[in-house]
Amino acid sequence: MDLRAVTTMCHTYLTRIHGISALLTLSTLAACGGQSGPAQQTAALPAGITYESHLAAGGNVPPGAALANPKSGNSAAAKAGEQMFSAMNCDGCHGGGGSGWVGPSLADGRWRYGGSDAEIFSSIYYGRPKGMPAFGGTVGIDGVWSLVTYLKSLPIPADVSTEAWDTD
């Protein structure tokens, strides 16, 4: 670990927030006294995104992380996910086979929040605002990947009963 880099970072950060809050300054000092974060090990990851509402310590925006499904195409994981889909009552909202009920269909190839493995992971792990509970704390990372693998294994019907709003 390069201590000079950490010292510079702390100095820059403290300079930036000087005068905003003494409490924040104290907690920042405590944080700077500890170990450095993972930023040093993430040089190979994609660039991060700056959010106006977030203050990045030292101006160091955390890099983006690429979520890859470790169970992609694994039929045993898809089977486990299918069982979990029923056991966790996903089908109580999304219907049997994810065909749609009070929750949207998960089997028609159309996605409100994106249909990549990573996007479906986020939908299940963190939940979504209009009624989708977060299941990450209940089934864990491994369980969510099994659910993603199951949903991705569902065949998309040639004809679905409703039309997409966005026809691009």
The contact set with ligand HEC (CB under 6 A) reads 85, 88-90, 92-94, 103-104, 106, 111-113, 120, 123-124, 128-133, 135, 147
The beta strands (E) that lie in 27-135 are given as none
The least CB distance from residue 62 to ligand HEC, in Å, is 25
Task: Name the residue nearer to ligand HEC (CB basis): 8 or 113.
Answer: 113
Question: Residue 59 or residue 114: which is nearer to ligand HEC going by CB?
Answer: 114
Least Å from the CB of residue 87 to ligand HEC: 9
Is the Cβ of residue 38 or residue 96 nearer to ligand HEC in the bound state?
Answer: 96
Q: What does the alpha-carbon distance between residue 75 and residue 77 come to, in Å, rounded to a whole number?
A: 5
Kindly tell me the sign of the dihedral angle through the C-alpha atoms of 168, 155, 85, 77: negative
Provide, rounded to whole angstroms, the least separation between the CB of residue 119 and ligand HEC.
Answer: 7
Beta-bridged to residue 128, according to DSSP, are 132
- Which single residue is written with the structure tokens 């993972």? 38
d(CA 140, CA 125): 8
Smallest separation, CB 85 to ligand HEC (Å): 6
Shortest Cβ distance from residue 56 to ligand HEC (Å)? Answer: 28
Q: Which is nearer to ligand HEC, 54 or 130 (CB)?
A: 130
Q: What angle (nearest 5°) sits at the alpha carbon of residue 78, between those of residues 76 and 81? A: 110
Q: Which is nearer to ligand HEC, 88 or 160 (CB)?
A: 88
> What's the Cα-to-Cα distance from 80 to each of 77, 123, 145, 155, 164, rounded to whole Å?
5, 19, 10, 17, 30
